[in-house]
A and B are shown apart, each in its own frame.
Chain A
Amino acid sequence: NAGVTQTPKFQVLKTGQSMTLQCAQDMNHEYMSWYRQDPGMGLRLIHYSVGAGITDQGEVPNGYNVSRSTTEDFPLRLLSAAPSQTSVYFCASSYRAGGGYTFGSGTRLTVV
């Protein structure tokens, strides 16, 4: 049981480049979300999905796109990377009810 698999673990981008952070879960969780973690600011929700084909914006969605074509996968796309997007990114999933979230191992992204 792999849980939530997030790739890559580390990435360095140049300003203006685009990339996709991958997230996959094998627990048949309906709810998936992307957070970014910055020092002193805690975790902030970027986008979330309550099921395949359904996505919505969180607190800080600008500069990011998501899609949910399957229950298992929830990729996060950076359209044109900016230094302000330097952060640690987490994918998390849970059941529809108030279960605890299972997190991926995180991606440390640096935009130079």
Chain B
Amino acid sequence: AQTVTQSQPEMSVQEAETVTLSCTYDTSESDYYLFWYKQPPSRQMILVIRQEAYKQQNATENRFSVNFQKAAKSFSLKISDSQLGDAAMYFCAYRSDGAGNNRKLIWGLGTSLAVNP
């Protein structure tokens, strides 16, 4: 079964600095998708970035980028020029490319990010 591990329960960063959140996963599949979700205090789950495993190019979305290392099963999120609004819980998630129950998301336990002014 697939698992997702976020080894940093809490992190902090100074405003305008860069921070990297770690995520590792375990799978025997070759085709899958990886996601980072943000959950601010409002509790809304917001998709930050998505990566297809078959793509070697790392996904980017404005100030957010990932370092996807397929062989190492690592999927870290880099936030550049951190802003106060980036303070949130960040979840890493895995989704199989298979059918049925395999389409469910496998979640890490999250990293709480604080942004210091």
Contacts and interface: CB of A to CB of B under 8 A. Distances in A.
Interface string A4-37: 0000000000000000000000000001010000
Nearest to B44: A105
Contacts of A43: 91, 105, 107
A10 to B, nearest CB: 11
Contact of A50 (B42, B95, B103): B103
A108 B35 CA distance: 24
Interface stretch (A62-70, A77-85, A95-103): A95-103
A103 B44 contact: yes
Chief secondary structure at chain A's binding surface = strand
Interface residues of A, number: 24
A88 B33 contact: no
B52 interface: yes
Contacts of B64: none
Interface of A: 31, 33, 40-43, 45, 48, 50, 56, 58, 88, 90, 92, 96, 98-103, 105-106, 108
